[in-house]
């Protein structure tokens, strides 16, 4: 790095855009600071490595505009996980005016290592001592100006979640972009020079470098520590951990917590679901009765049956999804999920996964897409692929509408919560078995190291939990608004066209059959649907699904679920509404009439295991880097689903 | 120097006998034949020919058959043999870091084959290493180096600025995996390699750092450790590669 990069130059007042980047250990509060500085919305997590993608935001300061990027967390520039590599490449090759190194003040001794590594590059560094509130509470006092003098960089204390110190940080970023970095004290400069070979991977050199840093940091801290933290500063976290991470109670508590989250999701979600449902129905009827044109108009059918019916059917499940995400966000923000990874690691590693597989898998309960993206935090490629492969077996939020449709329709109230719990559990067990098989065959190899930081418990701010929940719910809604709207229209068209010219039912009446008006309508719609493209495809492949108990309507609706799982529900409502217009409005009572419980179970198994949605296929392709994995997963899981559903249906027939 | 000639004519077995007699005489002023037999772990009857030979060489006084004494020449030769044995044992044990029993055995097998000059030079080297401050420095550097290089012949001064503590006896190897919840220890070495080693170092697992085991997971794995203000969970497979020494007092 002898030839001067542009960031070393003194900036002239005309250059109005400052490029800044946030770097630091996982969990030190980068994303919270990022949100505080830019006002952007973004995931805020307590599990090391939540931020995988870089996020960008900006703010203006007088005539300057600051562009900021949030890097994934890294413990060192030498490490090997994909996200640490992203951070390293950005810091070594990215052309930034200012690098803000964020440090968790409560672990300053370790975190300064990363700061020193960044100082080895020639970037303009601003050191941000975050979690100042916690450090203060622990009794720790740091002389920041002395620290700044020693290292030759501005040092700012912040508490990101209250916004304390963020204005000073903004000012420091601006100031530091306007002048080249000062040199650190000679003895520190000597260490930095001496250990320059950052990317060298020699074992002896690594120890040498780490020890030089540790000694240097001990020296620095000796000079700048006005008061050291009390040794009992983690006492309350330790007290909580004696229960939550208890050797024997920890796991039952964890399972209980997960059960409680699901139970609350469905109990509290019931009332708002009713409101949305009646709202959607009211809207459909209002349009229907006030329609100025003919009641047979295709436009009316498109609007009421296609759009309102389809999107409304998905919208109904928003309360469930909001509540589930609320629970998971809270667990994540408090730091409990790291304990869960610790408690679960032995079992996960036994099936060839990693404690770190746990977060992606849990995220998969919300949606497979962010779950698959979160597998980047797993260092070993085989662990990552195995996790990715079984991830769609985690019952995602999009499948929730299917369970919410089928379970109350077919099972007694007392059986509903256990059924729901059961389907999630079934997915988990199957994922374990599958992972074990994968790690024993195609993905053979040693497991990766498990060295996970256990952050102190932090009571998340209401704002951060709500923000996160809103983000995730918004992701779901946006999908409902765009993808599902589009699919609803296409499926409506596929279920409407081509239209038949004549009906069998008319011939029957001519032959003397006695039918009510309603029955005639119903038969006519049914014939219309069977005549349509969907009906034809569904009918054509129906025999293939007969061992599973599926009729052509389920097959037709399943075709929609290829595109997105929740489409199954809207598809079912279209199929039934079109087929039996005006007969029964409630889809569930229709299911209760047509479905046996064993068909319900076979259907749920097929929907849980089979046909990951198109978005999953696309993301697996991107994250695994090969179509082989994406399609292998798609067809492998679908074949497995077919066999399992058939078995379940056959066994159900015996009892 | 007649004793030199006499001593240099000795077979290994005779040297061993002379050494034994020297030790017994040094201890109690005389050596009884059955004590010699006991110390050498042989039948008293089979000692007799050796005694006769040593007598012929003028190294021992074998007049009384039961009590054996040393001549002046015999004493000198015995002392030399005994000192040589001691030096070699200490050299192997203290210097090369071999376990005591291995050092003792190797000293016994090599001592008869070394010339007096070699032994003298070894003694000087040993004294330099043990007594001279610079030598001590070199000794610890040598230990660090031998731990670090491990099949890498080129030296790039990687071991210059730190000291690794090698276990002198080589028998007690305590790791984090051996600690019970509540036990404190100081880290000695990180024996893993490659990515795992790098990760451990990055997380602050370094020689001399104090740790405490907080708890273990339900299946006994991973182990949860506390260290200088933060807490980590490690799998047993990682914990087994970090050697420690127990810390009992309430030091920070
Ligand atoms: N007490 C306290 N908590 C903070 C502070 N900054 C962030 N947090 C919390 O620390 C956790 C991790 O923060 P996050 O921004 O996700 O860290 P990142 O992994 O570095 O992006 C979240 O629960 C935050 O609410 C702070 O200054 N003080
Ligand atoms: Mg983050």
Residues B11 and B104 in one domain: yes
Q: How confident is the model at residue B159 (pLDDT cuts 50, 70, 90)?
A: very low
CA A38 to chain B, closest CA, distance in angstroms equals: 30
* CA distance readout (Å), A11 to A171, A175, B111: 15, 10, 76
Which range in A450-454, A528-532, B107-111 is most confidently predicted, on average pLDDT? A450-454
pLDDT of B150 above 60 = no
pLDDT of A177 above 50 = yes
Rounded average pLDDT over A320-349: 83
The pLDDT of residue A527:
75
Q: Please state the length of chain B.
A: 252
The pLDDT of residue A172:
94
Nearest to A451 among B194, B203, B221 (CB): B203
Q: Which is nearest to A117 in space by CA: A221, A4, A194?
A: A194
Specify if B8 maps to a domain.
yes
Q: What CATH number belongs to A17-227?
A: 3.40.50.300
The pLDDT of residue A247:
92
pLDDT of A45 above 50 = no
Q: How confident is the model at residue A270 (pLDDT cuts 50, 70, 90)?
A: confident
Owner of token pair 């038949």: A500
The pLDDT of residue A183:
79
**CA geometry: angle B152, B156, B162, nearest 5 deg:** 95
Contact state of A449 with B228 under an 8 Å Cβ cutoff: no
Q: How confident is the model at residue A447 (pLDDT cuts 50, 70, 90)?
A: low
Encode pLDDT of A469-523 as tens digits.
Answer: 777 677 667 766 776 677 778 877 887 888 888 877 788 888 877 777 766 776 6
Residues B20 and B78 in one domain: yes
Residues B83 and B173 in one domain: no
CA A331 to chain B, closest CA, distance in angstroms equals: 19
Rounded average pLDDT over A118-142: 93
C-alpha to C-alpha distance for B25 and B61, rounded to whole angstroms = 12
Instruction: Look up the CATH number of the domain holding residue B66.
Output: 1.10.10.10
Question: Which position has the higher pLDDT, A133 or A188?
Answer: A133
Encode pLDDT of A510-551 as tens digits.
Answer: 887 777 776 677 667 667 777 888 888 888 999 999 999 998
The pLDDT of residue A644:
96
The answer to whether A403 and A420 have CB atoms below 8 angstroms apart is yes
**CA geometry: angle B230, B235, B239, nearest 5 deg:** 80
Which range in A378-392, A436-450, B143-157 is most confidently predicted, on average pLDDT? A378-392
The pLDDT of residue B109:
80
Question: Which position has the higher pLDDT, A426 or A576?
Answer: A426
pLDDT of A268 above 90 = no
If residue A464 lies in a helix (H) or strand (E), which one and from where to where? helix A462-479
The answer to whether A124 and A98 have CB atoms below 8 angstroms apart is yes
Contact state of B162 with A208 under an 8 Å Cβ cutoff: yes
- Give the percent of chain B with pLDDT over 70: 76
Specify if B143 maps to a domain.
no
Encode pLDDT of A76-86 as tens digits.
Answer: 888 666 668 77
Question: Which position has the higher pLDDT, A119 or A474?
Answer: A119
The answer to whether A459 and A439 have CB atoms below 8 angstroms apart is no
The pLDDT of residue A12:
54
**Residues with Cβ < 8 Å from A484, sequence gap 6 or more?**
A310, A311, A314, A564, A566, A567, A570
> Contacts of residue A342 in chain B, CB cutoff 8 Å?
217, 222, 224, 233
C-alpha to C-alpha distance for A579 and A593, rounded to whole angstroms = 15
pLDDT of A582 above 50 = no
Q: Which is nearest to A343 in space by CA: B233, B42, B193, B251?
A: B233
Q: What is the mean pLDDT of chain A?
A: 82
Lowest model confidence (mean pLDDT) among A194-198, A292-296, A388-392, A472-476:
A194-198
Q: How confident is the model at residue A142 (pLDDT cuts 50, 70, 90)?
A: very high
Residues B108 and B190 in one domain: no
Specify if B48 maps to a domain.
yes
Contact state of A78 with B202 under an 8 Å Cβ cutoff: yes
pLDDT of A622 above 80 = no
Specify if B171 maps to a domain.
yes
DSSP class of residue A306 equals I
Residues B2 and B109 in one domain: yes
Residue A460 Cβ inside 6 Å of ligand 1? The answer reads yes
Lowest model confidence (mean pLDDT) among A148-157, A466-475, A597-606:
A466-475
**CA geometry: angle A544, A545, A550, nearest 5 deg:** 150
The pLDDT of residue B8:
62
Burial B111-132 (b: 16+ CB within 10 A, else e): bbeeeeeebeebbeebeebeee
Nearest to B215 among A233, A247, A448 (CB): A247
For residue B237, give its domain range: 163-246
| Phi, psi dihedral angles at A625 (to 5 degrees) | 80, 10
Encode pLDDT of A645-654 as tens digits.
Answer: 999 999 988 8
Residues B108 and B171 in one domain: no
The pLDDT of residue A6:
46
Nearest to A247 among B216, B231, B232 (CB): B216
Expressed in angstroms and rounded, the spacing between residue A597 Cα and the centre of ligand 2 is 45
Specify if B94 maps to a domain.
yes
Q: What is the largest CA-CA distance in chain A?
A: 106
Q: How confident is the model at residue B164 (pLDDT cuts 50, 70, 90)?
A: very low
C-alpha to C-alpha distance for A342 and B221, rounded to whole angstroms = 9
Instruction: Look up the CATH number of the domain holding residue B215.
Output: 2.30.30.90
Specify if B192 maps to a domain.
yes
The pLDDT of residue B143:
63
The pLDDT of residue B162:
37
Please confirm whether the linkage preceding A134 is cis (ω < 30° from 0): no
ipTM: 0.76
- Give the percent of chain A with pLDDT over 70: 87
The pLDDT of residue A2:
41
| Phi, psi dihedral angles at B176 (to 5 degrees) | -55, -35
The pLDDT of residue A122:
82
Encode pLDDT of A197-241 as tens digits.
Answer: 555 556 667 777 787 788 888 889 988 999 998 888 888 999 999
| Phi, psi dihedral angles at B232 (to 5 degrees) | -130, 150
Rounded average pLDDT over B56-69: 78
Q: How confident is the model at residue A311 (pLDDT cuts 50, 70, 90)?
A: confident
The last residue of one of the domains, among B56, B88, B114, is B114
Q: Which is nearest to B181 in space by CA: A454, A242, A253, A457?
A: A242
Rounded average pLDDT over A1-22: 61
pLDDT of B169 above 60 = no
The answer to whether A335 and A46 have CB atoms below 8 angstroms apart is yes
Q: Order of strands, edge to edge, in the sheet holding A451-453?
A: A451-453, B230-234, B223-227, B210-216, B184-190, B242-246
Per-domain boundaries in chain A? 17-227, 253-440, 479-654
C-alpha to C-alpha distance for A22 and A55, rounded to whole angstroms = 10
DSSP A370-433: HHHHHGGG--SHHHHHHHHHHGGGS--TTTHHHHHHHHHHHS-HHHHHHHHHHHHHHHHHHHHH
pLDDT of B9 above 80 = no
Q: Which residue of B has its CA nearest to A247?
A: B218
Q: Which of A228, A450, A453 to mutate to test the interface with B (most CBs of B within 10 A)?
A: A450
- Strand A64-70 to strand A17-24: parallel, antiparallel, or no bridges (unpaired)? parallel
Domains of chain B: total: 2
Task: Answer whether 0.90 is exceeded by the pTM.
Answer: no
Question: Which position has the higher pLDDT, A85 or A348?
Answer: A348
**Residues with Cβ < 8 Å from A254, sequence gap 6 or more?**
A339, A340, A343, A344
Residues B175 and B94 in one domain: no
Contact state of A109 with B229 under an 8 Å Cβ cutoff: yes
The pLDDT of residue B161:
37
The last residue of one of the domains, among B76, B97, B114, is B114
- CB contact B233 to A (< 8 Å): yes
**Residues with Cβ < 8 Å from A607, sequence gap 6 or more?**
A399, A402, A558, A561, A565, A568
**CA geometry: angle A450, A451, A452, nearest 5 deg:** 110
* CA distance readout (Å), B13 to A113, B4, B46, B111, B204: 62, 17, 12, 12, 56
Residue A104 pairs in a beta bridge with A130
Burial A582-609 (b: 16+ CB within 10 A, else e): eeeeebbebbeeebebbbbbbbbbbbbb
Q: Which is nearest to A23 in space by CA: A60, A58, A73?
A: A73
Six token digits for residue A314: 């998905």
Question: Which position has the higher pLDDT, B151 or A531?
Answer: A531
Residues B25 and B82 in one domain: yes
Specify if B122 maps to a domain.
no
Residues B98 and B27 in one domain: yes
Specify if B60 maps to a domain.
yes
DSSP chain B: -HHHHHHHT--HHHHHHHHHHHHHHHHHS-EEHHHHHHHHTS-HHHHHHHHHHHHHTTSEE-TTSSEEEE-HHHHHHHHHHHHHHHHHHHIIIIIS---HHHHHHHHHHHGGGS-HHHHHHHHHHHHHHHHSHHHHHHHHHHHHHHHHHTT--S--STTTT--PPPPSSS----BGGGPPTT-EEEEEEE---HHHHHHHHHTT--TT-EEEEEEE-TTS-SEEEEETTEEEEE-HHHHTTEEEEE--S---
Six token digits for residue A396: 């995602």
Owner of token pair 């007092």: B249
C-alpha to C-alpha distance for A404 and A266, rounded to whole angstroms = 9
The last residue of one of the domains, among B80, B98, B114, is B114
* CA distance readout (Å), B170 to A78, A628, B101, B164, B244: 32, 51, 11, 14, 13
Mutate to test the pocket of ligand 1, among A106, A160, A453 (most ligand atoms within 8 A of CB): A160
CB count within 10 Å of CB A513 equals 12
Residue A43 Cβ inside 6 Å of ligand 1? The answer reads no
Rounded average pLDDT over A54-59: 78
């Amino acid at each position: 790095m002898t030839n001067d990069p542009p960031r070393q130059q003194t900036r002239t007042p005309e250059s109005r855009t400052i490029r800044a980047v946030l770097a630091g250990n996982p969990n030190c509060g980068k994303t919270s600071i990022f949100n505080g500085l830019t006002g952007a919305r973004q995931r805020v997590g307590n599990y090391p490595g939540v931020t995988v993608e870089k996020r960008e935001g900006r703010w203006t300061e007088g005539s300057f505009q600051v562009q900021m990027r949030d890097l994934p967390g890294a413990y060192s520039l030498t490490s090997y996980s994909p996200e640490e590599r992203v951070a390293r490449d950005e810091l070594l090759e990215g052309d930034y005016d200012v690098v803000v190194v964020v440090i968790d003040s409560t672990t300053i001794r370790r975190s300064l290592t990363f700061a020193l590594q960044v100082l080895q590059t020639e970037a303009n560094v601003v050191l941000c001592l975050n979690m100042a509130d916690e450090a203060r509470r622990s009794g720790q006092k740091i002389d920041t100006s002395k620290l700044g003098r020693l290292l030759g960089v501005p040092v700012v204390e912040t508490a990101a979640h209250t916004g304390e110190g963020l204005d000073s940080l903004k000012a420091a970023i601006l100031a530091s972009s306007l002048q080249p970095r000062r040199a650190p004290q000679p003895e520190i400069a000597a260490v930095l020079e001496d250990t320059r070979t950052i990317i060298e991977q020699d074992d002896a050199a690594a120890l040498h470098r780490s020890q030089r840093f540790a000694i240097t940091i001990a020296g620095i801290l000796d000079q700048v520590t006005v008061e050291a933290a009390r040794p009992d500063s983690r006492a309350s976290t330790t007290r909580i951990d004696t229960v939550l991470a208890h050797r024997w109670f920890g796991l039952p508590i964890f399972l209980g917590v997960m059960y409680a989250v699901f139970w609350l999701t469905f109990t509290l979600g019931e009332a708002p679901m009713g409101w949305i449902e009646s709202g959607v129905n009211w809207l459909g009827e209002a349009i229907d009765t006030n329609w100025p044109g003919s009641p047979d108009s295709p436009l009316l059918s498109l609007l009421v049956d296609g759009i309102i019916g389809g999107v409304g059917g998905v919208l109904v499940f928003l309360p469930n999804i909001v509540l589930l995400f609320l629970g998971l966000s809270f667990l994540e923000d408090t730091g409990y999920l790291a304990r869960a990874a610790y408690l679960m690691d032995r079992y996960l590693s036994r099936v060839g996964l990693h404690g770190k597989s746990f977060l992606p898998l849990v995220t998969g309960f919300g949606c497979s897409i962010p779950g698959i993206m979160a597998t980047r935090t797993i260092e070993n490629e085989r662990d990552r692929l195995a996790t990715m492969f079984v991830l769609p077996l985690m019952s995602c939020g999009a499948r929730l509408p299917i369970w919410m449709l089928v379970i109350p329709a077919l099972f007694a109230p007392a059986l509903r919560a256990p059924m729901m719990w059961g389907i999630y559990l079934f997915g988990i067990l199957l994922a374990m078995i599958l992972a074990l098989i994968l790690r024993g065959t195609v993905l053979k190899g040693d497991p990766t190291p498990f060295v996970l930081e256990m952050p102190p418990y932090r009571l998340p701010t209401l704002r951060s939990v709500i923000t996160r929940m809103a983000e995730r719910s918004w992701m779901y809604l946006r999908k409902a608004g765009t993808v599902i709207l589009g699919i609803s229209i296409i499926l409506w068209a596929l279920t409407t066209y081509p239209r038949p010219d004549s009906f069998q039912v008319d011939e029957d009446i001519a032959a003397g059959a006695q039918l009510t008006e309603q029955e005639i309508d119903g038969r006519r719609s049914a014939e219309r649907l069977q005549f349509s493209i969907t009906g034809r495809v569904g009918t054509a492949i129906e025999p293939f699904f007969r061992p599973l108990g599926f009729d052509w309507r389920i097959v037709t609706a399943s075709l929609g679920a290829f595109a997105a799982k929740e489409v199954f529900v809207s598809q079912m409502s279209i199929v039934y509404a079109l087929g039996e217009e005006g007969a029964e409005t409630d889809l569930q009572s229709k299911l209760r009439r047509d479905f046996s419980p064993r068909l319900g179970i076979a259907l749920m198994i097929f929907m849980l295991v089979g046909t990951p949605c198109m978005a999953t296929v696309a993301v697996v392709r991107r994250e695994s880097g090969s179509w082989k994995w994406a399609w292998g997963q798609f067809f492998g899981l679908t074949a497995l689903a077919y066999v399992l559903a058939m078995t379940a249906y056959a066994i159900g027939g015996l009892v | 120097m007649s004793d030199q000639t006499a001593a240099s004519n000795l077979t290994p077995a005779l040297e061993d006998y002379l050494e034994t007699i020297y030790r017994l005489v040094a201890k109690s002023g005389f050596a009884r034949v059955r004590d010699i037999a006991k110390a050498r772990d042989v039948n008293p009857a089979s000692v007799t020919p050796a005694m006769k030979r040593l007598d012929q060489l003028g190294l021992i006084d074998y007049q009384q058959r039961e009590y054996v004494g040393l001549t002046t020449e015999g004493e000198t030769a015995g002392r030399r043999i005994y000192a040589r044995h001691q030096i070699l044992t200490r050299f192997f044990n203290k210097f090369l870091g071999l376990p005591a029993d291995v050092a003792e055995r190797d000293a016994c097998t090599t001592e008869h084959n070394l010339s007096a000059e070699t032994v003298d030079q070894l003694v000087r080297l040993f004294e330099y290493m043990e007594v001279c401050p610079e030598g001590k420095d070199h000794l610890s550097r040598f230990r660090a180096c031998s731990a670090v290089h491990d099949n890498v012949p080129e030296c790039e001064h990687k071991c210059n600025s730190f000291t690794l503590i090698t276990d002198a006896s080589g028998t007690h190897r305590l790791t984090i995996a051996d600690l019970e919840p509540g036990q404190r220890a100081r880290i000695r070495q990180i024996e893993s390699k490659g990515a795992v080693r790098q990760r451990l170092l990055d997380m602050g697992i370094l020689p001399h750092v104090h740790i405490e085991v907080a708890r273990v997971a339900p299946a006994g794995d991973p182990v949860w450790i506390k260290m200088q203000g933060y807490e980590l969970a490690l799998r047993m497979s990682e914990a087994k590669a970090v050697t420690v020494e127990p810390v009992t007092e309430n030091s920070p």
